[in-house]
Structure 1
Amino acid sequence: MFAAISMSRNPREDDSMSNKIPHRIGLSAAILLCFSLAGNVYAGNLVLEAQTMDRSADPCTDFVQFANGKWLAANPVPADRARYGAYDEVTERNLSALKTIAEDAAAGTTKGAAATLVGAFYRSGTDEARIEAAGLKPLAAELAGIDAVGTRAELIAIIAHQHRRGINSVFTFFVDQDAKNTQRYIPQLAQGGLGLPDRDYYLKGDAKTRVIRSKYVAHVARMFGLLGDAPAQARLNAATVMALETGLARASMTKVQLRDPQATYHLMGVAGLARRSGYRGWAGYFRHIGLAAPGDVNVAQPKFFAQAGHMLAATALPQWKTYLRWQLINATAKDLAQPLVEADFDFYGRTLAGTKELQPRWKRVLITIDHTAGEALGELYVEKFFGPAAKAGALDMVANIKLAMRDRIASLEWMGAATKQQAMKKLDTLVVKIGYPDVWRDYRALRIDDASFAANTLRANAFEFARGLAKLGKPIDRKEWGMTPPTVNAYYNPTMNEMVFPAGILQPPLFHVDADAAANYGNTGATIGHELTHAFDDEGRQFDADGNLKSWWTKEDEKNFLRRVSGIEKQFDEFAPIDAIHINGKLTAGENIADLGGLKIALQALKKSLAGKPQPADIDGLTVDQRFFVAYAQSFRENMRSEKLRLQLATDPHAPAKYRVIGPLANMPEFADAFACTGNRSPLRPAGQRVNIW
């Protein structure tokens, strides 16, 4: 429901600093802490890395190379990654810090409920001998339940059971705010049930997509073989899965269609769902997930549920049982014995993303813990890696950026007074969360032990499912977070009208209170501006100050806004990063609007913060404005495998990193002025084509 951006930067690693940190914290953790301990570090190095620039490049004609050239040449994609950029650098250091935390918890060095949970979870995931010896035993009860299905009623019951365990067979269920009445939680049903990344992988006819489909079917057959099926039967089962998933894909909305919140809001009761879908088993489904009387339900894609309902009623039970076995093993393979882990990685890592090697087990285990019980891990993380100075500095920057946004709204020539008043109201009521939750999640009802990593993961999924159900009928929890504290990311949630910045994104080299202001505003400031602009992008602007999906625009202002949005869609449609595959301007519109708006707002906030003060001197031969833009570009430095790039272009609402730099800058005369770009060297689009929204 919320939009998010990944922005991160990497500090210059100084090996001498690591000697100042106690050994038990670890080298990577030391890098995160070193700037607060080494008072003599030059502030200009805290965020912007001048030594990674390529000064031989012309900033006007190839700014990405100018800002990042030496880094790009020196940092090829590691074998265990599909891409490597600033985001990944910080994530790697966070993982190393979390490894130390988890190892201390596993050894009993750290005390408390969070440490007990994390320690047991980590021990279960790193006990390779036990995992290999167990084989498929952790799935025995699940497989037996599928095998026992003999009626349509038992079919929907086992689907409900899988949903409660975090396995989204056929469709997806979750609890969230009612988009048009955000003071209440309601059940939500959405399309799902596919093993490939998107519906288009089942339906497109180009050669590369056909090859991926063929490899997917072979992968599914391989997994059935690992479940014990004979080769011929495994191939038949894979064909069954492909046929069922293709049927679901044909009725699924596209990624672009899913971006329209009005198109995914259809409130109805169980009786209405039964009528619309032609399937009578919905009451049984809700009963089996624990909702005897679900009340109003948002059915996001009625067309999809009509198709799913038809298939649930008409497709033979043996075919469904085959599909459910696949869904089970596909969801759990990464937590099981090595042959299953390798097979899963071979398709989803190597084939789809081009990754050469599997990540070490300890990384994979930490990622799983973060995804399933992340606030326990986060509670331990913030004790070591997030202090009050960082929070205060971030809040100060947020305040300045909100003031800059207020100024920009007031000065918009295309928006009338009535709409401006509502925009100001939304801006004034927007909530900001920094660092970590005020109230930590209570995991006392979650049983985690040393016995089975896969069983722990399934129980953690079940805990989260039950936690979601428990929200129904209760007041909105405005203290809840949608990301864990170590996450190097941020998000805006329109139904809460809030933007959230975890501790992981608010530390060196992403942000430091003593860093050069221009660099701080160019990276973290642009991140804050980006999330703030999401409140007013083509999706966010449809939600009012209370988070309700309700128009607050005059017809004329809406028309003016949409005309400007079409301009940024057309601009990004022109970019073709690989194999003549163009960026989808409609799919990426929200992120592109937020990138451009966030950068403009951050620059204006920087100017306001420096007003009335002595202007900062040049640093590393760069003026204030130049440092601002270089820091922004360095946040998007990234090398990526071609397979991953194709996957991103097909499925991701974010444009590839390079274009998130050159796209906004082509609309900003401030950039051309900063680097004296004139004539044929100017990167600016013609004046009549430049996009200026917020």
Structure 2
Amino acid sequence: MMKFLTILNRLTKCLKIIFIRMKNHTLTTLLIITTILFSCKGEKKPDIRSVFNNSGFDNGNIDSTKNPCIDFDGFANGNWKKKNPLPATESRWGAFEILDRDNKVKLKNIVDSISKLPHLKSGSESQQIADFYRSYMDTITIEKLGLSSLDKYFERIDHIKDYTDWVNFSGELQKLGIPTFISYKVEADAHNNQMNILSLGQGGLTLGDKSYYALKESKNANLKDRMIRHIDIMYKSAGLKDVSPGSKIYELEQNVANLQLTSLMLRDQIKTYNKLSVPELSRIAPQFNWNGFLKAQGINTQTVVIEDRAYMSNLTSLLYKTPLTVLKLYTRWQLLSHFAPYLPQKYSNPHFAFFGTVMAGKKEQKSRIDMAIQELEQALGMPLGKLFVQRYFPEQDKQKISEMIENVRWVYHQRIDSLRWMSNSTKASAHKKLNTMTFKIGYPEKWPNYFGISIQPLRLIDNVIAVAVFHHNENIRKIDKPVDKTEWHSTPQTVDAFYDQYTNSACFPAGILQPPFYNHKADDAINYGAIIAAIGHEITHAFDDRGSKFDASGNLNNWWTSKDRHNFENLTKEYIEYFNQIEAQPGLHINGQLTISENIADLGGLTLAYHALEKSYDKKKQPASINGFTWQQRFFLGWAQMWHGNISPEALRNELLTNPHVPFRFRINGPLKQLREFRQAWKCNKRDSVNLNIKSIEIW
């Protein structure tokens, strides 16, 4: 009886509170009742955010002090950023990185279960996974072995007798994944995408991109000093007696960087497509033993594509004139730096201190287990991916995503028909390209075979080399062979999506088909603002400033009338200038031309997704507000949630200098301010126009 009276007394008090709050506030009645009754029951109050999670968006992330019309990222994600500071082990932290971390936890579970299995068959994928992981975790053996696994390569460098010998050995090292100033890739021929061809380009810079060698700012001068000191420290730790190796290597790299194309120049598919025979290449760069360089890598071909004739000619001339002692210094450094993460701590710790902290802004290394999973995924990602999708990817999601893609494709056809700046003849070609586009969802239909990679439980360096040589051989085997258009170039657990201009196909791995990108339990508007916009983004890549130069078959071929191309380029020029005005870091603006492809794709993806969502409601009653937000507003909240994130100043600088994507915040705010639908949804007015481009740029 006393228990009953106690409950009744609590209930009476709660009802009084409810009526008072209903009178004085406009919050959703159901939310108030639910929250108070839980507290009255004597239980812990539920996190209000969990109520909002049913919609697919956490309202606890919102900073209502911010004006959504001026800074939508600050409004939608302000509290999220405060609650999720950059972890010490990361240079950037957002939805992509958090989901990637969660996927790696799942991979760790898979590895743990495999490692417990007895009598793993030698050469099987399970044995390869288990023993690679063991070799990475066996730090006692790693410390004991020291540099011994690399001794034979250092000895080879010591015995290099002349320039030709150095060229040949550089080719051998490239088989192990060690960078040289001449990079290579095997891909579809841009003018005959049925066949693979060898493409040669630039590479080999310690700082990664020529922009770091060109900047005159004080921070870059400091970076130069830090790189030189780092090289000197690593040389000393390895017992190498060379005098001032850092300054000599930096000088060589700076001279090479001066010859390289900028990231912006590399975007020009026409100027960077130079097809010629190997004998012609030898005439352009006669001091370089091309036959020996290619043969050392196991490459047998008579036709190549090079990015830049001038680079190959000037580089090989520069290297020919460089003292052999300096070339050997550089080669030792690349060998040591490349394998440093797998060596004892006296090498791996300084390596992280420079590349992790100085270059990326990370304060701490990940745990050994986390690094082991990361390296294992790099080495044996596909075998792991096969197990990942078996355990964690619902097959029905594949069908659902397929349906979503077709809905977006249908809306894109409508958008093409409604374009006022494009003629009917070009529209017909655009429709053809859209119709022939194919999609890879979840995981590959045919899994690659990793049989033949010899993995040992106690030899990490040897395992890393074995994997590198295997992938190198698999890659060069494709040269001058037909393109396999079903092949996947990413693992299923990857948190990203891709468009391939050569095969006119888009790929959506299982890794990204999870919340907050896709949540089958979430409100439609949130999903459309996220995964549907992402699908639209990849489809739009077929029609961005680069993809639009490839036809429906995936060949570099003009399918536009000259007037239509002119109209398109005028629109893209406006969008370039719009982003050029944004100062993303003191002294550094967004490079609108470098990022234009991704910016076009974001704008197109949002436009497609919004109108696809609007169409889905045509024959239905307009959905009610959820948590005070209309479906239009929830759509844009879904977009903002997908791109929320924090980033270190060092990583932000790197992105602004080299990345074709704009950083988190501007990926959210940038395209939204071009959309009339956004301004209407949030009732933006002229007082908010300080940062708004009232004349919307509409491309697709």
Secondary structure of 1:413's counterpart equals coil
State whether structure 2 residue 682 is matched by structure 1 residue 692.
Answer: no
Which segment drifts farther, 507-516 or 577-586? Answer: 507-516
For residues 337-371 of structure 1, the C-alpha deviation after alignment (integer angstroms, 9 at most, x for no partner) is 11111111111111111111011122222222222
Amino acid at match of 2:393: F
* Aligned counterparts of 1:60 and 1:243: Cα–Cα separation in 2: 49
Which residue number in structure 2 is paired with residue 80 of structure 1? 89
| CA pair 280-68 structure 1, distance change in 2 beyond 3 A | closer
Q: 1:674 to 1:111 in 2, by over 3 A?
A: farther
Does 1:528 find its partner at 2:535?
yes
Deviation, 1:203, is 2.1
Evaluate the alpha carbon distance shift between residue 400 and residue 376 of structure 1 in structure 2; reply closer, same or farther with a 3 A threshold.
same
Q: 2:306 aligns with which of 294, 299, 303?
A: 299
Q: CA deviation at 1:44?
A: 5.5
Residues 341-350 or 149-158, more deviating: 149-158
Q: Determine the C-alpha separation between the residues in 2 that align with 1:194 and 1:574.
A: 30
- What corresponds to 2:349 in structure 1? 342
Cα deviation for residue 679 of structure 1 reads 2.3
CA distance in 2, matches of 1:683, 1:485: 43
Give 2:432's aligned residue.
425
CA contact (8 A) 2:154 2:332 kept: yes
Counterpart contact for 2:529–2:638, Cα < 8 Å? yes
Question: Per the alignment, do residues 382 and 110 of structure 1 end up closer, same or farther by CA in structure 2, a change over 3 Å counting?
Answer: farther
| The one of 357, 363, 375 aligned to 2:364 | 357
Where does the alignment leave 5 or more consecutive residues of structure 2 unmatched?
1-49
Partner residue, 1:268: 276
Query: What is the CA deviation profile of residues 52-81 of structure 1, one whole-angstrom value per residue up to 9, with x for unaligned ones?
Result: 222343322332122112211111101111
- Equivalent residue, structure 2, for 1:603: 610
Deviations 1:158-210 (A, max 9, x none): 11111111112121122111111101111111101110121021122221111
Say whether residues 1:383 and 2:390 are aligned partners: yes
Aligned counterpart in structure 1 of residue 72 of structure 2, from 60, 63, 66: 63
Deviation at 1:609, TM superposition (A): 2.2
Q: Name the aligned partner's letter for residue 284 of structure 1.
A: G
Q: TM-score when scaled to structure 1?
A: 0.91
CA RMSD of the aligned region, Å? 1.7
Match of 1:288 in 2: 296
Give deviations 1:473-497, integer Å, cap 9, x for gaps. 4321112111111111111110111
2:36 is aligned to none
* Matching of residue 329 in structure 1 with residue 369 in structure 2: no
Match of 2:254 in 1: 246
| Change in CA separation of 1:46 and 1:310 when aligned onto 2, cut-off 3 Å | farther
Higher alpha-carbon deviation: 542-551 or 445-454 = 445-454
Aligned to 1:91: 100
Instruction: List 4+ stretches of structure 1 deviating above 4 A.
Output: 41-44, 109-112
Give the AA of the match of 1:423.
A
Counterpart residue number, 1:640: 647
Letter in 1 for 2:652: L
**Match for residue 148 of structure 1 among 159, 164, 184:** 159
Matched, 1:237 2:245: yes
Structure 1 counterpart of 2:12:
none
Contact 1:518/1:627 (<8 A) preserved: yes
1:307 Cα shift?
2.1
In 2, are the aligned partners of 1:60 and 1:683 still within 8 Å (CA)? Answer: no
Q: Look up the match of 1:441.
A: 448
1:607-657 Cα offsets, whole Å, 9 max, x none, are 122221232221111111111000101111111111221121111111111
TM-score between the two structures when normalised by the length of structure 2: 0.90
What is the alpha-carbon distance in structure 2 between the residues aligned to residue 247 and residue 307 of structure 1?
Answer: 10
* Match for residue 164 of structure 1 among 147, 170, 175: 175
Structure 2 CA distance for aligned equivalents of residues 252 and 243 of structure 1: 15
Give, in whole Å, the separation in 2 of the partners of 1:64 and 1:310: 50
The one-letter code matched in structure 2 to 1:177 is: A
Deviation at 1:49, TM superposition (A): 1.9
d(CA) in 2 for partners of 1:164, 1:81: 30
Aligned: 1:119 with 2:126? no
Contact 1:519/1:627 (8 A) holds in 2: yes
Q: CA deviation at 1:257?
A: 0.4
Native 8 Å contact 1:47 1:510 kept in 2: no
Q: What 5-or-longer segments of structure 1 have no aligned partner?
A: 1-40
Once residues 144 and 614 of structure 1 are traced to their aligned partners in structure 2, the CA distance between those partners, rounded to angstroms, is 76
Give the aligned partner of residue 310 of structure 1.
317
1:401 and 1:448 map into 2 onto residues whose CA distance is 45
Equivalent of 1:667 in 649, 671, 674: 674
Answer with 1 or 2: which has the greater Rg.
Answer: 2
Q: Is the 8 A contact 2:537 2:605 kept in 1?
A: yes
2:506 paired with 1:499:
yes
Give the letter for the 1:237 counterpart.
P
Equivalent residue, structure 1, for 2:18: none
Deviation at 1:663, TM superposition (A): 0.9
- AA aligned to 1:52 is N
Is the contact between residue 104 and residue 110 of structure 1 (CA under 8 Å) also seen in structure 2?
no
User: Equivalents in 2 of 1:336, 1:47: separation in Å?
Assistant: 44
Does the 8 A contact of 2:52 with 2:58 survive in 1?
Answer: no
SS in 2 for 1:418: helix
SS at structure 2 position matched to 1:535: helix
Residue 229 of structure 1 and its aligned partner are, at CA, apart by: 2.2
Q: CA–CA distance in 1 between the matches of 2:338 and 2:302?
A: 30
Is the CA contact 2:526–2:638 (under 8 Å) kept in the aligned structure 1?
Answer: yes
Q: Do 2:167 and 2:288's aligned partners in 1 also have CA atoms closer than 8 Å?
A: no
Q: CA deviation at 1:667?
A: 0.6
AA aligned to 2:277 is G
CA contact (8 A) 2:146 2:344 kept: yes
3-state SS of 1:205 partner: coil
Contact 1:447 1:459 in 2 (8 A): yes
Q: Which residue of 1 aligns with 2:217?
A: 206
Contact 2:516 2:642 in 1 (8 A): no
Q: Do the aligned partners of 1:240 and 1:319 also contact (CA within 8 Å) in 2? A: yes
The letter for the 1-side match of 2:617 is L
- What does the per-residue CA deviation read over 1:582-619, in whole Å, with 9 as the maximum and x for residues that have no partner? 11111111111111111001111111222212322211
Deviations 1:476-526 (A, max 9, x none): 111211111111111111011111011110023321223211111101111
